[in-house]
A = this chain, B = another copy of it.
């Protein structure tokens, strides 16, 4: 950590010793997985800096914003319409959910058979390890899966929790329910901030977030180049950082990076010469969950796409910005978020089509489906994914794991065998 943020972390009532250990492990892990890469693009320095200050400068910015009366809204899911948060001049951040640090505390209130992501965010809160969580004026959950839906009831004893209901189908009645939920959320944000959301500020927020989506779409398009110009773990990191850095700054910095990538492509340069192109599909990978991409990219393959919430599921669709009235903009938000192809929907044919389409566009040799242990929606849907890929002639390897390092050798063996098979 370049900066000294001890006083701030103390004010936020973090468990300072445990937090220091966490940052130490994270720094070491980042060095091994990221800084060890050869010939990285200069634009990645922005990401390295953001990561080196992960619980520092950005949290300091949040504190300064709070002093000026702005509110901080924490989220765990791509369904929360962040345009409404930014429109009311509040700040949205994705909360820490990618490390094991608080598991022991989480298992006192959650079943052991709970996915690592849920244990992680409950554990981070109960163990006072996440300065983002401690900065939140509101924490917004959603009903995307049984585990999160019920965990928020328990989390509500410890934090100001608001839950959005996500429909489970995409019929007319579901759109109506979702429309009511988007409007209820708008009111909640207006009440939290004391600011009315209107066509002017919502229009600005839609453009702000669309710009961030556009730059990530551009990045993903550039990866279709052969050889691919950037490692999968670097792009995963960029997606992860998109959830908590300032959106305008992020868009500018990733835009600069894309310029460098274009130049690199025009020189015919890539990363990982001769590596087998694969795509990841499935559960989200929150910081610092870099285990599987690192294993894959240490096994003769390169990841060229992430069909995931921390990936294309969050960036594929723009919010229509042509509406002039508040109503038209709210409807555009309703429609945009209902297009998300999360496994929480039944049926969810769109996702299968998206996966096959992406695999073809990115010219991958195979797909690695990533499931968090005990994530029922994605585990069950992987059966349909394998069917769809098989019909398209694309091999799939299904991996189920959590945040522990115990299975690393076993996973490496399986990944290497798969890469060898599809080479």
- List the interface of chain A (C-beta within 8 A of B): 109-111, 113-114, 143, 145-147, 149-154, 163, 165, 167-169, 171-174, 176-177, 180-181, 184, 343-344, 346-348, 373-374, 376-377, 379-381, 383-384, 400
A173 touching B168, Cβ below 8 Å: no
B171 touching A380, Cβ below 8 Å: no
B346 touching A149, Cβ below 8 Å: yes
- Chain B residues within an 8 Å CB radius of A152: 346
Indicate which residue in B154, B163, B373 contacts A113 across the interface (CB closer than 8 Å): B373
- Chain B residues within an 8 Å CB radius of A147: 376, 380
A154 touching B384, Cβ below 8 Å: yes
- Chain B residues within an 8 Å CB radius of A177: 167, 173-174, 176-177
Closest to A347 in B: B153
CA distance A167 to B346 in the complex (A): 13
- Chain B residues within an 8 Å CB radius of A379: 111, 113
- Per CB-CB distance, the 6 closest pairs between chain A and chain B, nearest first, are A150-B380, A173-B180, A146-B376, A111-B379, A143-B168, A173-B177
Closest to A375 in B: B146
A151 touching B380, Cβ below 8 Å: yes
- Chain B residues within an 8 Å CB radius of A374: 113, 374, 376
A111 touching B376, Cβ below 8 Å: yes
B346 touching A143, Cβ below 8 Å: yes
A380 touching B165, Cβ below 8 Å: no
**Identical chains bound together, number:** 2
A346 touching B163, Cβ below 8 Å: yes
A154 touching B380, Cβ below 8 Å: yes
CA distance A154 to B387 in the complex (A): 11
* A342 CB to nearest chain B CB (Å): 11
CA distance A152 to B383 in the complex (A): 12
- Chain B residues within an 8 Å CB radius of A383: 109-110, 154
B167 touching A165, Cβ below 8 Å: yes
Evaluate whether A146 and B377 lie within 8 angstroms (CB atoms) in the complex, with A171-B180, A383-B154 already known.
yes
Q: Which of A149, A165, A384 has the most CB of B within 10 A?
A: A149
- Chain B residues within an 8 Å CB radius of A165: 167-169, 171, 173-174
- Chain B residues within an 8 Å CB radius of A173: 165, 176-177, 180-181
CA distance A206 to B149 in the complex (A): 33
CA distance A110 to B386 in the complex (A): 13
B181 touching A150, Cβ below 8 Å: no
Closest to A149 in B: B346
* A283 CB to nearest chain B CB (Å): 13
CA distance A122 to B374 in the complex (A): 19
Indicate which residue in B145, B154, B172, B180 contacts A146 across the interface (CB closer than 8 Å): B145
- Chain B residues within an 8 Å CB radius of A171: 165, 180, 184
B113 touching A150, Cβ below 8 Å: no
CA distance A47 to B145 in the complex (A): 39
B176 touching A114, Cβ below 8 Å: no
CA distance A180 to B400 in the complex (A): 37
* A380 CB to nearest chain B CB (Å): 3
Closest to A382 in B: B111
* A134 CB to nearest chain B CB (Å): 23
* A177 CB to nearest chain B CB (Å): 5
CA distance A384 to B168 in the complex (A): 25
- Chain B residues within an 8 Å CB radius of A384: 153-154
13 A-B contact pairs sorted by A residue (CB < 8 Å): A111-B380, A111-B400, A113-B379, A114-B380, A143-B346, A145-B376, A149-B377, A150-B343, A150-B381, A154-B384, A165-B173, A173-B181, A176-B176
CA distance A269 to B119 in the complex (A): 51
- Chain B residues within an 8 Å CB radius of A343: 150
CA distance A379 to B153 in the complex (A): 13
B181 touching A168, Cβ below 8 Å: no
- Chain B residues within an 8 Å CB radius of A113: 113, 373-374, 376, 379
